A = this chain, B = another copy of it.
Amino acid sequence: MDTTFDALLVRMKELRDLNGLIGLAAWDQETYLPLKAAEARAQQLSTLQGLHHERLVDPRLGEWLAWTEGRTDLSDDQLAMARVLIQERDRAVKVPRALVQALAEAQSRGLHAWRQARKENRFELFRPALERLLVLRREQADAYGHDGERYDALLEGFEPGMRVARLDPVLSSLRDTLIAWVARLQTAPRQVLDVLQGRRFDTDVQWRLSLRLLEDMGFDLEAGRQDKSIHPFSSGLHPTDVRLTTGLEEGSLASLFTTLHEGGHGLYEQGFHPAHYRTPLANAPSMGLHESQSRLWENLVGRGRPFWSHYFPVLREAFPQSLADVEMEAFVASINRVTPSLIRVDADEVTYNLHIVLRYELELLLIRDELPLADLPEAWNERMRRFLGITPPDDRQGVLQDIHWAWGEFGYFPTYALGNLYAASLFSTARRALPGLEQGLARGELRPLRDWLRTHVHAEGYRLPAEERVRQVTGEGLTDEDFLVYLRSKFGELYGVKL
């Protein structure tokens, strides 16, 4: 009996190591890979992923996992490890090899066509490849199985346990509220200026500041590192080896918010329980919950006044010339300025979720086959007008802006909104649980918050599905209530309006 679980554990560790190595190869690809090695790296990654898949669908693993079911002599953690791996394996087994290969090819073509279409600003160049990806994803969703709503089967890959029936009412209600608020903020009597525009910030100084922020957050720089990359990301090769990246631009302080964002992801990865290392429990239960940690640090902490009470003087000392004439209040207002804009990744906290709902609604229609692809650009633009009151001047700044659909990734965008909602619920609970929290932030004390998150979220790993974990901590599941309370208070005050 023990020997079967031992065999299972050996395989779990092997799969986990392969994942870590895939992470290393992908990290290196974005940071240090020589220019001409792109093809070689793609081949190496494909070999690794093929091996991972082969070991995952191995029938012997299926037997070992089946053996665990219903056993009373295994610990709760052992049962949870098996449960998570069963889920992952079941999905992998269900997709025929021919479909896996067809998808890989369609993804590669999709990326290529999208790049071309973006370059020439012609959606039509992308349409056939996108059509093919949709056909294959629908096929894949049917292979996974679902209760009538195909999108559920894709959502499951990023947000296990979440369903359209649960998600849709929350996002629809959020959308309606935000549309109204965005309109109100735009006509508010008090308007916010961007006092940072046109200023220069030495990138070496930004780099040093970003490392200081990571250290202050309690990110362990001996169990992780930060590097530079064009598109920032975080990657957990192992809880003792967590890699973050940031981008640096002289004309912006974005690197600091990127660092807080990726640092939030990084704290999650470093915070798994040592007893879970190299098992399926050393994982976040969903992408949305992972994103809640990055959003929490980037926005609820990092765009808050308490945080800058401590760090604005630090910032000013770092950039004495660039910030000589800037007051803290004007700075905090600037980094919270609300402006309907075209590009999601630049959006503020109020408009951001509207970008997400827009994509969610469209991809739901696409997967249901209820929106002809020829109508997609206009459906996009129509929602941009309805949600944000602006019209993209071209597809490059509209339907072609994101890479996700080009890669055939449907079901992922909602996790960004879930991240924002979970972040607000968790932060509101943290404020109640840690009475001096904001005074502490105002003194630069970030670690009590990290410790609270570590105990209640990170160290729990994948023991429970995301919404259940949030419910255990906050007393309620998925809701937009805390998020709206947070926005109402912050932006109502900032713009001098009642939301």
Q: Does A340 contact B (CB under 8 A)?
A: no
For A21, give its contact among B44, B222, B223 (CB under 8 Å).
Answer: B44
Chain A, range 410-430, C-beta contacts under 8 Å to B: none
Structural contact, B18 and A47, CB atoms closer than 8 A: yes
Using CB atoms, name the residue of chain B closest to A28: B24
Contact pattern, A 1-43, Cβ under 8 Å of B = 1, otherwise 0: 0000000000001100110110011001000111111011101
Q: Does A84 contact B (CB under 8 A)?
A: no
Q: Does A220 contact B (CB under 8 A)?
A: yes
Distance (whole angstroms) from the CB of A15 to the closest CB of chain B? 9
Chain B contacts for A240, CB-based, 8 A = 34, 36-37, 39-40
Distance (whole angstroms) from the CB of A218 to the closest CB of chain B? 14
Chain B contacts for A39, CB-based, 8 A = 240
> How many residues belonging to A are interface residues under a CB distance threshold of 8 Å?
39
For A36, give its contact among B20, B21, B36, B220 (CB under 8 Å).
Answer: B220
For A237, give its contact among B37, B48, B237, B238 (CB under 8 Å).
Answer: B37
A316 to B44, alpha carbons, bound, how many Å?
44
Q: Does A225 contact B (CB under 8 A)?
A: yes
A21 to B41, alpha carbons, bound, how many Å?
9
Given contacts A36-B222, A47-B14, contact A41 B278 (CB under 8 A): no
A237 to B34, alpha carbons, bound, how many Å?
11
Chain B contacts for A17, CB-based, 8 A = 43-44, 47-48
A82 to B24, alpha carbons, bound, how many Å?
31
Structural contact, B20 and A238, CB atoms closer than 8 A: no
Copies of this protein, total? 2
Contact pattern, A 271-294, Cβ under 8 Å of B = 1, otherwise 0: 000000110000000000000000
For A40, give its contact among B14, B220, B238 (CB under 8 Å).
Answer: B238
Given contacts A21-B21, A35-B222, A222-B34, contact A237 B40 (CB under 8 A): yes
Given contacts A238-B40, A240-B37, contact A21 B14 (CB under 8 A): no
Distance (whole angstroms) from the CB of A44 to the closest CB of chain B? 5
A220 to B32, alpha carbons, bound, how many Å?
15
Given contacts A28-B28, A48-B21, contact A43 B278 (CB under 8 A): yes
A51 to B58, alpha carbons, bound, how many Å?
14
Contact pattern, A 213-236, Cβ under 8 Å of B = 1, otherwise 0: 000000011111101000000000
Using CB atoms, name the residue of chain B closest to A239: B40
Q: Does A241 contact B (CB under 8 A)?
A: yes
Chain B contacts for A220, CB-based, 8 A = 36
Chain B contacts for A24, CB-based, 8 A = 24-25, 28, 44
Chain B contacts for A36, CB-based, 8 A = 220, 222-223, 240-241
- Most chain B beta carbons < 10 A, residue from A28, A44, A239, A242: A44
Chain B contacts for A44, CB-based, 8 A = 17, 20-21, 24, 237-238
Using CB atoms, name the residue of chain B closest to A19: B44
Structural contact, B37 and A241, CB atoms closer than 8 A: yes
Distance (whole angstroms) from the CB of A358 to the closest CB of chain B? 39
Chain B contacts for A13, CB-based, 8 A = 43, 47
Contact pattern, A 449-464, Cβ under 8 Å of B = 1, otherwise 0: 0000000000000000
A-B contact pairs, 22 of them (CB 8 A): A13-B43, A13-B47, A17-B43, A20-B40, A21-B25, A24-B24, A24-B25, A24-B28, A28-B28, A32-B32, A33-B241, A34-B222, A34-B223, A34-B240, A34-B241, A37-B237, A37-B238, A37-B241, A40-B239, A40-B241, A40-B277, A51-B51
A residues with a Cβ closer than 8 A to B are 13-14, 17-18, 20-21, 24-25, 28, 32-37, 39-41, 43-44, 47-48, 50-51, 220-225, 227, 237-242, 277-278
> Can you list the 10 inter-chain pairs with the closest CB atoms, starting with the nearest?
A37-B241, A40-B238, A17-B47, A35-B222, A36-B223, A37-B240, A36-B240, A17-B44, A36-B222, A40-B240
